[in-house]
Chain A
Amino acid sequence: MRFSRFLIGLLVALAVTARLLLVVGTRCADQQHFLAALNDKVRLLDTAPGARLVLIGGSNLLFGVDSSELQASLGRPVCNFSLHAGLGLEYPLWLALPRLRNGDLVVICPEYFAAAANLEVLAQSALYYPEAAPFVAQRFGPLDQLRFHILCAQKAVGVLHSRFYLALGGNNRDPLFRRDISPQGDMIGHLDRPRPPGSLRDFALHPKDYSGAVALIEEFAAQAQQKGARVVFAYPTVCQSFWTQNGEPIGDFANQLAGMRCPIINTPMTFVYPDSLYYDTAYHLTREGRQRRTVDLLACLQPFLNGKER
C-alpha cells in the first residue's frame, strides 16, 4: 500500500511535469523552425484548388523539385507535401489522405529505407504541429507512445535551452528554416549558398523486409482511389557515389516493390546524378540538380496524365 502510494504519486508527478514542459515548450517553440513548415504544407493541401499534383516523401523531394516549373508545365497546382525522411511515410500519408480530392495525382517518393518514422523527429514536429500526437496514439503501441511523450518533453526542454542559449549569444547551427521554403513547399533557401564542405558522407544501406511499407502504400492507394485520386510511386534521387555503394540493397528493395499494384513511374537509376549536383547529403539537390530532376520527373509523369488533365 505504502509502495503503491509512492509509485502512483511519482508517476503522476512525472506525467504532470512532462505535460507542463510540453505546454511551455510549445509556446516557446520558434515558429521559424524547419519542421514548423508542416503547418504551411497542410494549409496548402487544404486550400490549393482543383485537381493537384501532390508530392509526398522526404527531403529528396523537398530539395529536389521545382514545383513552379512543374505547375507551369502541367497546368495544375502542385503541392510539395514532403519535409523530412524522419517523419516516415505513414505520417505524411495519414495527414494527406483526408485532404485528397477527385482528380489529384499523388507521387509517393520516400528516401531509401526511410519508410518507418523516427519517434524523435515526430516528437520534435509535435511542438510545431500537434497532429503527431493523435497519429502516434492511433498507430503505435503503448511503449512507443510512452517513449513519444517522453521525447516530446525532451524536445520541449531542448526548445527552452535553445531560447536561453541564443539569448546568451550562442550560435544556432540550424542551417535552414521555415522561411526558406517556397509557398508551394520547395526548399529554396539553399539554392544560392555554396555547398558545405565534406558533405556527401558514405552511407551504407542494408537489405531488409519492406512488406510493411508496400502494404502501407497499397492501402493508401486504394483509399485515395475511392476519393478519385490516383497514386504512383517514384524512386528517389540519390548521388552517383551513393548509388555505386548501395546498388545491391537498392536492387533488393526494387525486387520487393516489383509486385506492387501501385504504378511505379521510374527506375532506381532514373534520378541518379553526379555528386556535383548534390548539396549537403546524397539526397539533396543543388539548383542545377533540381532543374534536371524536375525535367526528368515531368517525363516520368507524362504517361499518367491524360490529355484532358494536361
Chain B
Amino acid sequence: MDFHSFQFLLFFAVVTLGFFLLPFRCRPIWLLSASCYFYVQFLPLYILVLGFTIVVDYFAGLWLERTQGRSRTAVLALSIAANVSVLAIFKYAVFLTQNWNWVGARLGWGAVDWQSSLVLPIGLSFHTFQAMSYTIEVYRGHVPAERSFIQYALYVMFFPQLVAGPIERPQNVLPQLRAQHFFEFERVLSGLMLVAFGFFKKVVIADRLAPMVDIIYRNPQQYVGAPLLAATLCFALQIYCDFSGYSDIAQGSARVLGINLMTNFRRPYFAASPSEFWTRWHISLSTWFRDYVYIPLGGNRGHWARNILLTFLLSGLWHGASWTYVAWGGLNGLLLVAEGRGRRWPRAAGWLLTNAAILVTWVFFRARTFADAGHILTHWWFSPQASLQRVWASRMGASAYDAHVLALSVVLLLAVELWEERRGERWTDWALGLPGWARFLLCYVLVAYIMIFGKMNSLQQFIYFQF
C-alpha cells in the first residue's frame, strides 16, 4: 500500500474513524492492528522480522532497568547486535560477500559462494534505528523502560512513520501514545493540510520529475553537457519533494491522530553552508547520527574531522549497500570538514557554493556506478549551448503539458517555501488563523490542484522506501 495511493487514503480514513470512535483503552490495539495490516501489505512474512526486533528490544529495555554495571552494557550490546544483525542479513549480506570476494581474489583466498534471495524488508533501516534509539535512551536513563508491550510495539510500528521515518525518539513518541487524544477540528485540519501538501510535492512534482531523471540516469554515458546537469538538478528537486513529501504525509497523518512527529525537513536548499544543510535535511537521521555516533566518538573535541567523516561514511552506508552511497556520505563529510577548516562566506556566496557542492554529491547518490558518476561529473560542461538547446527541445522526454505543469508547480513550491523561510513557520500553522471560508478556499484550491495535476496513473514508489 503506497502512501500516495487511494488505498492508503481509504485505509487512513477507516483507521481515523475507528480511532476516535473507540474507547481510549482500545485505541493502542486498534492502531497497532492497523499498523500490522499496513505493514503486511508490502511483504507479509517480514512482519516476523519486525516482530523479532520488537520482542528483543522490549525485553532488553526491561532488563536494562533491572541491571547495573557491566551486565547493563552487555544487555545494550546484545540488543544493538540483534538489530545490526537483522540489518546485516537483509541489507548488507550480498554487499559484504561481494567485497569479501573482491579482497579474497587479490589475496588468493577462496571465494564465498553465497547468493541471497532475501528481499529487503520495507523501511528496515528506519525501524531498526528507531528501535535502537529506544534501548540506548533507556540505557542512558533518559526514559524509563516501557512496561506495556503494545505501547512499545506501537512505538516501533506506528504506521505513519514505519517505513521511512521520521526516526523518532522514545521521549517524544511514547508519552504521546499513552495520552488521550480528542477529536479537535483545528488539529485534524492542520494535519490534513500537511498531508495534502505532501501529496502535492510527491504526485505533482516528484513523480513528474522521476521519468525525466530516469531517462538520463538509466544510461548517462549516452549524453554529454546540459542533459546531465539538468537531470542532476531535477534529481535534487525530485528527492527533496519525494522525501519531504513523504515526511509531510507521515507528520500530517500522525497529527490527525493526535501524535506530533518531529519535523524532518526545514527547507534545506536555503542552507548557506553544508552544516546548515544537515540541520535542515532528514533531521531525524542527522540527529540520530549526531547523538548516537558522532558525540560518542568524541564530537567536536579532539579528532573532530575524523569523527565527522566516520559519521558521514556510516550515514552513507545506512542509505544503501553500495560504495556509491558511501562515497556520497564521505563527500558530505568532507564538505563539513572543509567548512570547519575554511573561512566563512557571505550568505549569498555560501548558499551558491553549498548548493553546487550538494548537487555534486547527489550524482553519487543517484548514479548506479562510479563509472556513471565519473562520466556525469566530467561531461556536464561539454558543448553547453548545443546540449542546452537539445534539453529545451526534448524537455527530457516530458510532454509540453507536463513541462508547463512542472514549471508552475515548482514556482508555487518555491513561493511557499520562501514565505515559510521568512516567517519561520509552516503555512499549515498560519492557515489555522484564517477565517473559515478562507481555510475552505485554501483547502479546495490545494486538493483541486492535486486532483487535476497529480500523476495518478504512474505511481512511483517513494525513493526512501528502499532504505
What residues of chain A have their CB less than 8 Å away from a CB belonging to chain B? Answer: 2-3, 6, 9-10, 13-14, 17-18, 21, 118-120, 143, 146-147, 150-151, 153-154, 157-158, 161-162, 165, 170-171, 173
Contact = CB atoms under 8 A, between A and B. Distances in A.
A9 B443 CA distance: 11
Given A18-B451, A153-B452, A154-B452, A10 B457 contact: no
Given A119-B457, A150-B456, A158 B440 contact: no
A32 B400 CA distance: 19
B102 interface: no
B185 to A, nearest CB: 5
Given A14-B448, A153-B452, A146 B457 contact: no
A21 B401 contact: no
Contacts of B6: 143, 146-147
A10 B452 contact: no
A3 B191 CA distance: 13
B401 A150 contact: no
B194 to A, nearest CB: 16
Given A2-B185, A3-B183, A120-B457, A161 B451 contact: no
A170 B444 contact: no
5 contacts: A10-B443, A14-B447, A120-B457, A157-B453, A165-B404
Contacts of A158: 401
A207 B400 CA distance: 34
A165 B457 CA distance: 23
Contacts of B456: 119-120, 147, 150-151, 154
Given A3-B183, A158-B401, A10 B444 contact: yes
Interface string B434-446: 0000001001100
B146 to A, nearest CB: 32
Contact of B404 (A9, A120, A153, A161): A161
B93 interface: no
Nearest to A7: B192
Given A3-B188, A6-B189, 6 more contacts: A13-B444, A143-B6, A150-B451, A157-B452, A161-B404, A173-B400
A43 B290 CA distance: 70
Interface in B413-467: 440, 443-444, 447-448, 451-454, 456-457
B7 interface: yes
- Max chain A Cβ within 10 angstroms of own Cβ: one of B185, B188, B447, B457: B457
B7 A143 contact: yes
Nearest to B451: A150
A14 B400 CA distance: 26
Interface in B382-410: 399-401, 404
A170 B447 contact: no
**Shortest Cβ-Cβ A-B pairs, 7 listed:** A120-B457, A143-B6, A161-B401, A157-B452, A3-B185, A13-B444, A2-B185
A3 B440 CA distance: 11
Nearest to A165: B400
Nearest to A161: B401
A164 to B, nearest CB: 9
B45 interface: no
A8 to B, nearest CB: 11
A13 B448 CA distance: 9
Contacts of B443: 6, 10
A145 to B, nearest CB: 10
Nearest to A151: B456
A283 B43 CA distance: 36
B189 A14 contact: no
A161 B456 CA distance: 18
A271 to B, nearest CB: 30
B440 A21 contact: no
A222 to B, nearest CB: 32
B457 A118 contact: yes
A132 to B, nearest CB: 14
Contact of A10 (B183, B404, B440, B453): B440
Nearest to B405: A161
A150 B448 CA distance: 10
B10 interface: yes
A208 B140 CA distance: 52
B210 to A, nearest CB: 16
Contacts of B448: 13-14, 17
Nearest to A21: B452
Contact of A162 (B401, B440, B447, B453): B401
Nearest to A143: B6
A82 B9 CA distance: 36
Contacts of B183: 3
B401 A14 contact: no
A275 to B, nearest CB: 20
A219 to B, nearest CB: 27
Contacts of B7: 143
Nearest to B6: A143
A174 to B, nearest CB: 10
Contacts of B10: 143
Nearest to B9: A143
Contacts of B454: 154
B189 to A, nearest CB: 7
A154 B183 CA distance: 34
A252 B268 CA distance: 49
A147 to B, nearest CB: 6
B440 A14 contact: no
B305 to A, nearest CB: 47
B3 to A, nearest CB: 15
A170 B452 CA distance: 22
